Amino acid sequence: MRLSPLLIGVVIMATAAGAASAADLPLNHVVLYSSGVGFFQHSGMVHDDETVELSFRAEQINDILKSMVLQDLSGGTIGPVTYAPRDPLERTLRSFAVDIADEPSLGDLLSRLRGADVAITSTSSGEIRGTILGTEWQEKSVGEDSVVEFEVVNIVNDAGMMQIPIWHIKDAKLLDPELSGDLRKALAAIAANRDVSKRGVELHFTGAGARQVSVGYLLETPVWKTTYRLVADQGESFLQGWAIVENTTDTDWEDVNLALVSGRPVSFTQDLYQPIYVQRPDVPVQTQVAARPKIYGSALEEADEGEMMADQPRRSMARMAAPSAPAAELAAGVVGMAVPGGYGGGAIAADALSAGVAAAAAGEEVGEMFHYAINQPITIGRQGSAMIPIVNQPVETDKLSIYSPGSNSKHPMHGLRLTNTTGLALMAGAITVFDGGAYAGDALVDDFGPGDERLISYAIDTAVEVAPEAKGGNQIRESIKVVNGVLIAKTTQTMQVEYTIKNSAEETRTVLIEHPRRSGWELIEPKDPAETTRDLYRGEDGAASRRAHRADLRERRSRRLLHAVARAAR
């Protein structure tokens, strides 16, 4: 009786003697990365030769196989890590005597059991025992113009051959215990393939006496998130940052040392748990072509001995240059059956393996990393979450009214220029802004490092109104010349936009105007913008209380115009 590799592995693990529990290696260190993985480290004591069993969900085994690190810190030896393999379901099902991989109907299943002894109970004939001869489709006339098709199974027994319509069958029993057992095992393999319960992984440590050991591994984890609260004031504000952490593992985090890492290291998954079989070429056995009899004709005349000797080398060379028909056929057969790409079909095997890996395969971009070490042990129950403070200190801020025509063509936004003076690399997240002791609005901020500046906006500044007006410009011809029948004219074009700013508030506003950067255009006024980004110029302008004034922005570009010139007749 055959067992699938999965069942064999389960039996081995269930009967392992002397295995320690996971409690002997408690989880004591967790590092969560913003790329969606976490590093988990267990440490504890083992004695002499000992096996420690950890359990994981089936979908976590790939990460375990890719990343697990074992250490025996007291001079012992690390043994093999054993686990139950997972063969592809189709391959497992094909290993049984009864093939049900394609969900066969009852008729198809009985056809595949040809030659098996069965006991079939039908609605018309009761129980019939015999050997399956096969199945077939038959037709029966119903009425004058209707024909019904139905499937029957042919049974052979001591009484002869009988036909039983499939739709008359109430039940069917396999009389061969081994064949019946294989059918049950195939069904059990299908059920096990749907099972997402835990899988055991055994760690083997070999040595003498008590020893300190550790095991670490990576698992997929939710991305830890950040949120901030900012109490705004002119000059210096107070920033409080929180990390939102979820424990979606099946292990309680009890007094673990938790670290949070910002950045985007490369992280991917790879299917290492499921066996991968390389496609190999099917090369037929090469056989020698049997020699055929030959009928020789009689000579017209006999040559003398000298002629025969003189002609011998020429005939020998002819035989070497032109092989006989059987030899030529053999050579042609070998060449014709060769696998393209060289001996053994190496290209086919490599493609099959890389496709299996690549299909299962997925990647992320590399980024700068920053480490947040939590200075006290953290306890989070499994499937639980927590908010952990990571920032709690003052930062530099400047209040601004930020005008972006693409966002709001009439009013600017209340905003802040935030300078990261915390000494920490702050991750992107939401900022809840409080101003004057009251809630002022929400903002978003991107990642920014120590000393960097970021703009945030959190509310519409309805007290300030901005009206942009394009004033056009002029075009000046700088030079003109003719070269080889082509007129080349160089011109300079200028454009002007006038921003009218009206401040109805009691206090003076600093208005930051964002103007789009255009390819080929150069900013000439103001000469020194407050900031320049990939896509924008930012210029600051003071708007006095209860006043309106104008701010100009001018750009220019140089162009070369080419025109063909007709040559003068000679």
Structure tokens at 307: 């002629």
SS3 category, 317: helix
Instruction: Enter the pTM of the model.
Output: 0.60
Q: Structural domain of residue 478, as residue ranges?
A: 467-564
Residue 59 lies in a domain: no
Q: Does some domain include residue 178?
A: yes
Residue 457 lies in a domain: no
User: Is 148 among the domain residues?
Assistant: yes
Q: How many CA atoms lie within 13 A of 352 on its CB side?
A: 11
The answer to whether position 20 is within a domain reads no
**Helix H or strand E segment including 136:** strand 126-142
Kindly report the number of other CB atoms within 10 A of residue 232's CB atom: 21
CATH of the domain at 107: 2.30.30.720
Whether 522 is in a domain gets the answer: yes
526: DSSP letter: S
Residue 31: the pLDDT is 92
Among 132, 158, 185, which residue terminates a domain? 185
pLDDT the model gives residue 346 = 33
Q: What is the pLDDT of residue 463?
A: 92
- pLDDT score for 67: 94
Cβ atoms within 10 Å, residue 179: 17
301, burial (CB in 10 Å: exposed 0-12, middle 13-18, buried 19+): exposed
308-332 per-position pLDDT tens digit: 444 444 444 334 444 444 433 333 3
**Continuous segment of H or E residues that includes residue 190:** helix 177-194
322 part of a folded domain:
yes
> In the prediction, which pLDDT does 515 show?
86
Instruction: Count how many domains the chain has.
Output: 3
Res 252: pLDDT: 92
Which of the listed residues 137, 165, 185 is the one where a domain comes to its end?
185
Angle between helices 5-14 and 177-194 (to 10 degrees): 80
The residue among 185, 213, 244 that closes a domain is: 185
Helix (H) or strand (E) holding 495: strand 486-503
**What pLDDT, on the 0 to 100 scale, is given for residue 302?**
55
pLDDT value of residue 352? 29
- Weakly modelled stretches of the chain, pLDDT under 50: 1-19, 21, 307-367
Residue 155 lies in a domain: yes
pLDDT tens per residue, range 454-467: 999 999 999 999 99
Q: Name the 3-class secondary structure at 92.
A: helix
**If you write DSSP's letter for every residue of 318-383 in order, what string do you get?**
HHHHS--HHHHHHHHHHHHTPPTTSGGGHHHHHHHHHHHHHHS-B-------EEEE-SS-EEE-TT
CA angle at 462 for the pair 460 and 468, rounded to the nearest 5°: 90
